[in-house]
Amino acid sequence: MAETQVLMERLEKAVIRLESLFSDSHRSIGMECGAVNGVNGGMSVAPYVEAFDRLLNGSVAEFLRNSKILEGDVKIHAEMVRAAFQAQRAFLLLVSQYQEPQESEMAVLLKPISDKIQEIQTFRERNRGSKMFNHLSAVSESIPALGWITVSPKPGPYVKEMNDAATFYTNRVLKDYKNSDLHHVDWVKSYLNIWTELQAYIKEHHTTGLTWSKTGPTASTASVLSTLTSGQCLPPPPPPPLPPGPPPVFDTESGKDEATTSRSALFAQLNQGEAITKGLRHVSDDQKTHKNPNLRAQGLPVRSPTKSHTPSPTSPKNSPQQSHSPLLELEGKKWRVEYQEDKNDLVITDTELKQVAYIFKCNKSTLQMKGKINSITIDNCRKFGLVFDNVVGIVEVINSRDIQIQVMGKVPTISINKTEGCHIYLSEDSLDCEIVSAKSSEMNILIPLNGDYKEFPVPEQFKTAWDGSKLVTEPAEIVG
């Protein structure tokens, strides 16, 4: 493992140095030195690399300027975004100079970008108490768009999907600041403009995906390092890169073309809301906690029966899953509940108002939280049940499937994002709760009526019409 880590660090440094070697600012030096390992250091960069530079100097630079005005966590986060785009620029430069590598080498060459994305998302999770949390969430939810380089044959729509994920949070920013501080409005416009321009860039230069050079040497870790260490006029090495985030967990549930499965897996963790499972049915009486008190007392799973998802014969095989140890611990002010499998007796009793809970990658399990807590986030869970007393902030469900939530006390807001199958049982005291949903399906709210519960589906389709002065949007399905 130590040798692998050293190799990763060398590679990331190498990619950054390769970018410097072939950038316009060092073009004259390259001409004096001549070719390096068969790659002419003085040659101009490919047109699509130059076009990417214009995007960096345009919309990305504008976003950085607006982030600097807002300062604080937003400014720090924006610098991470800049580093991620620079890593992608270096990769595009590799593509323009080298022939396509083997799949095993591709995973290594993509790792610098994957690490930058992971770093951006980790920063958001570590700053859930930030007053700019919606800003951080908008960036964190959409930055996987940089994974377009692994998508074929149509990477453009993938970027649009990630841009849509950002608008869920940018709309919150606009709501909070549109009448008080227009700097935040400018920040939203500049950030969303990055992805709009990236879509246009892809449409012009990479409509069907990246095309590697047909004439250069075959890209590999060794060849990249060799190129950088054999020249006589190399620029001084850059400062050491930021430490990489935790290794990503690859999930290939979304069925992609077999030729791109392994490389797409690098970004699958960052976009795990794409997997689709059909056949969710209503909960039978014997599986509802309000009709079977033993379920609540024993902490048994609150779930709806779901048809098993069997890949078709043509679906690519899943990559081996990385093993993680189950975790349930209090880290500072955050309860971390992670990688729990088939655990139906999870209970947290020692809660405080200042604490938050983050539930990640828990499957076929149930958690009961007693007392009062600030907020709860359910992220990337499957067939998971949550029973809690009181939350003073928000309960968020993101990138999950088949979730059951029962409110015993009060909660002001429940947010459902990129989730398939979510049943929420409200208590008498929580009927004023606001349910906010986006890019989700099979959502049902159960309301206590006359000693029983009545189920109400949350609309998934809407119709919009112009009434002569404004757009009017209303559900396109009957609710009741």
Q: Give the tens place of pLDDT for each residue, 392-423.
A: 989 999 999 999 999 999 999 999 999 999 99
What number is the average pLDDT over the span 26-31?
Answer: 34
The residue to which tokens 């700097």 are assigned? 183
What number is the average pLDDT over the span 32-36?
Answer: 32
CA within 13 Å, CB half, 320: 3
What is the percent of the chain where pLDDT is above 70? Answer: 68
Q: Does 237 or 318 have the greater pLDDT score? A: 318
What number is the average pLDDT over the span 272-300?
Answer: 48
Listed residue (472, 333, 311, 307) closest to 402, CA to CA: 307
* pLDDT band at 178; cut points 50, 70, 90: confident
In the chain the first and final C-alpha atoms are separated, in Å, by: 57
**What length is written for the chain?**
480
> In what helix (H) or strand (E) does residue 127 lie, and over which residues does it extend?
none
Torsions phi, psi for 155 (to 5 deg):
-75, -20
* pLDDT band at 9; cut points 50, 70, 90: low
pLDDT at 134 over 60: yes
* pLDDT band at 17; cut points 50, 70, 90: low
Q: Does 230 or 345 have the greater pLDDT score? A: 345
Listed residue (351, 361, 358) closest to 334, CA to CA: 358
The residue to which tokens 């004439």 are assigned? 215
| Type of residue numbered 38 | G
Dump strand ranges (E) for 262-381. Answer: 327-331, 334-338, 346-348, 356-360, 363-373, 375-379
Q: Is 281 helix (H, G, I), strand (E, B) or coil?
A: coil
The confidence score (pLDDT) of residue 244 equals 46
pLDDT at 61 over 70: yes
pLDDT at 268 over 50: no
The confidence score (pLDDT) of residue 271 equals 47
The confidence score (pLDDT) of residue 477 equals 61
The confidence score (pLDDT) of residue 20 equals 52
Instruction: State the chain's mean pLDDT as an integer.
Output: 77
CA distances 170 to 63, 184, 186, 322, Å, are 14, 10, 11, 33
What does the CA dihedral 75, 81, 87, 88 come to, rounded to 10 degrees? -150
pLDDT at 254 over 60: no
DSSP H helical ranges for 210-260: 221-230
* pLDDT band at 293; cut points 50, 70, 90: low
CA-atom Rg of the chain in angstroms? 24
* pLDDT band at 111; cut points 50, 70, 90: confident
Q: Is the dihedral of CA 25, 31, 33, 34 positive or negative?
A: positive
The confidence score (pLDDT) of residue 410 equals 93
| DSSP 8-class letter at 444 | E
CA distance 399 to 379: 6
Answer yes or no: are the C-beta atoms of 140 and 120 closer than 8 Å.
Answer: yes
pLDDT at 13 over 90: no
Answer yes or no: are the C-beta atoms of 405 and 377 closer than 8 Å.
Answer: no
Answer yes or no: are the C-beta atoms of 364 and 342 closer than 8 Å.
Answer: yes
What number is the average pLDDT over the span 435-443?
Answer: 90
